[in-house]
Chains A and B, each alone.
Chain A
Amino acid sequence: MTTLAICGGRLVDPAAGVDAAKDILLKDGRVAEIAGPGKLKGKNGAEILDATGLVVAPGLIDIHVHLREPGQGYKETIATGTAAAAAGGFTSVAAMPNTSPVNDTAEVTRWMQSPERGAVVRVFPIAAATRGSKGETLSDYAALKAAGAVAITDDGRPILKDGVMRESLAAAARVGLTVIQHAEDTRMTQGASMNLGPVSFKLGLRGMPVEAESSVVERDIRLVAELRESHPHLHVAHISTAAALAAVRQARRNGLRVTCEVAPHHFLLTEEHVGLYNTHAKMNPPLRSAADRDAMIEGILDGVVDAIATDHAPHAMHEKEIEFDLAPNGIIGLETALGLSLRWLHGEWKVPMGRVLSLLSAQPAALLGLKGRGTLAAGSYADVVVFDPKAEWTYRATESKSKAKNTPFDGWPMLGKVRWTISEGRVAYAGQL
Chain B
Amino acid sequence: MNPAATTARRPRNTPPAPVSPFPYNPGSLLSVLDLSVDGVSQLLMRATELENEDPIGRDRILAKRRIALLFYESSTRTRTSFELACKALGADTTLVSSLSSSIEKGESLKDTGLTLRALGAEAIILRHNSSGAAWLLEESTRLPVINAGDGMHEHPTQALLDLRTILTHLRPGVEGVAPDTLAGVTVMITGDILHSRVARSNMLLLPRVGARVLLCGPKELLPEQAARSGPGIEIERDFDAALKQSQAVMMLRIQAERLAGLQLDLDEYKANYQLTGQRLAAHAPTTVVLHPGPIIRGMEITAGVADGVQSAILEQVTNGLAIRMAVMERALVTDDGGRA
- Identify the A interface with B (CB < 8 A): 190-191, 197-198, 200-206, 242-243, 245-246, 268-270, 272-273, 275-278, 289-295, 297-298, 318, 321-326, 344, 348-349, 412
Of all chain A residues, which has the CB nearest B131? A204
- Report the Cα distance A349→B140, complex, angstroms: 39
**Residue B229 at the chain A interface, CB threshold 8 Å:** yes
Over the window 9-21 of chain B, the binary record of Cβ atoms lying under 8 Å from chain A Cβ atoms (1 yes, 0 no) is 1001111011010
Of all chain B residues, which has the CB nearest A271? B17
6 further A-B contacts with Cβ under 8 Å, apart from A197-B225, A294-B7, are: A198-B229, A201-B194, A277-B132, A295-B7, A322-B110, A324-B131
Asked if B136 and A277 make an inter-chain contact with CB atoms under 8 angstroms apart, the answer reads: yes
CB < 8 Å neighbour of B261 from A190, A289, A321, A324: A190
B220 to chain A, nearest CB (A): 13
Cβ contacts A to B, 7 pairs, < 8 Å: A204-B132, A204-B154, A205-B152, A277-B136, A294-B12, A295-B7, A322-B109
Asked if B18 and A323 make an inter-chain contact with CB atoms under 8 angstroms apart, the answer reads: no
B19 to chain A, nearest CB (A): 9
B208 to chain A, nearest CB (A): 15
Interface majority SS (helix, strand, loop, mixed), chain B: loop
Of all chain B residues, which has the CB nearest A291? B4
Residues of A with C-beta under 8 A to B8: 298
CB < 8 Å neighbour of A203 from B9, B131, B194, B226: B131
- Report the Cα distance A321→B154, complex, angstroms: 21
Of all chain B residues, which has the CB nearest A298? B7
Total inter-chain residue pairs, C-beta < 8 Å: 113
Asked if A204 and B153 make an inter-chain contact with CB atoms under 8 angstroms apart, the answer reads: yes
- Report the Cα distance A272→B228, complex, angstroms: 14
Residues of A with C-beta under 8 A to B22: 276
- Report the Cα distance A293→B13, complex, angstroms: 12
**Residue B5 at the chain A interface, CB threshold 8 Å:** yes
Residues of A with C-beta under 8 A to B17: 270, 272-273, 275
Asked if B128 and A275 make an inter-chain contact with CB atoms under 8 angstroms apart, the answer reads: no
**Residue B231 at the chain A interface, CB threshold 8 Å:** no
Over the window 122-158 of chain B, the binary record of Cβ atoms lying under 8 Å from chain A Cβ atoms (1 yes, 0 no) is 0000001011110110001000000000111110000
Most-contacted residue by chain A among B18, B132, B261 (CB, 10 A): B132
- Report the Cα distance A323→B129, complex, angstroms: 10
Asked if B131 and A191 make an inter-chain contact with CB atoms under 8 angstroms apart, the answer reads: no
Residues of B with C-beta under 8 A to A203: 131-132, 153
- The A-contacting residues of B in range 192-217, CB under 8 angstroms, are 194, 197, 200
Residues of A with C-beta under 8 A to B6: 246
**Residue B3 at the chain A interface, CB threshold 8 Å:** yes
Asked if A242 and B3 make an inter-chain contact with CB atoms under 8 angstroms apart, the answer reads: yes
Residues of B with C-beta under 8 A to A246: 3, 6
- Report the Cα distance A412→B15, complex, angstroms: 10
- Report the Cα distance A385→B12, complex, angstroms: 30
CB < 8 Å neighbour of A322 from B131, B136, B153, B229: B136
A325 and B131 in contact, given A197-B225, A204-B197, A268-B14 (Cβ under 8 angstroms): yes
Residues of B with C-beta under 8 A to A298: 7-8
**Residue B260 at the chain A interface, CB threshold 8 Å:** yes
- Among all A-B residue pairs, the 8 with the closest Cβ atoms: A277-B132, A204-B153, A204-B152, A323-B130, A291-B4, A204-B131, A242-B4, A246-B3
Residues of A with C-beta under 8 A to B12: 294, 297, 348-349
- Report the Cα distance A412→B151, complex, angstroms: 32
Residues of A with C-beta under 8 A to B223: 201
Over the window 219-244 of chain B, the binary record of Cβ atoms lying under 8 Å from chain A Cβ atoms (1 yes, 0 no) is 00001011011100000000000000
Residues of B with C-beta under 8 A to A295: 3-4, 7
Of all chain B residues, which has the CB nearest A193? B131
Asked if B4 and A276 make an inter-chain contact with CB atoms under 8 angstroms apart, the answer reads: no
- Report the Cα distance A291→B9, complex, angstroms: 9
CB < 8 Å neighbour of A273 from B2, B18, B200, B261: B18
- Report the Cα distance A268→B108, complex, angstroms: 32
A296 to chain B, nearest CB (A): 10
- Report the Cα distance A293→B12, complex, angstroms: 12
CB < 8 Å neighbour of B7 from A190, A205, A291: A291
Asked if B200 and A204 make an inter-chain contact with CB atoms under 8 angstroms apart, the answer reads: yes
CB < 8 Å neighbour of B260 from A205, A206, A243, A326: A206
A317 to chain B, nearest CB (A): 11
Of all chain A residues, which has the CB nearest B22? A276
A326 and B3 in contact, given A204-B200, A272-B17, A318-B108 (Cβ under 8 angstroms): no
Of all chain B residues, which has the CB nearest A297? B12
Asked if A324 and B4 make an inter-chain contact with CB atoms under 8 angstroms apart, the answer reads: no
- Report the Cα distance A297→B260, complex, angstroms: 35
B98 to chain A, nearest CB (A): 12
- The A-contacting residues of B in range 281-325, CB under 8 angstroms, are none
A86 to chain B, nearest CB (A): 26
Residues of B with C-beta under 8 A to A292: 4
CB < 8 Å neighbour of B20 from A200, A275, A412: A275
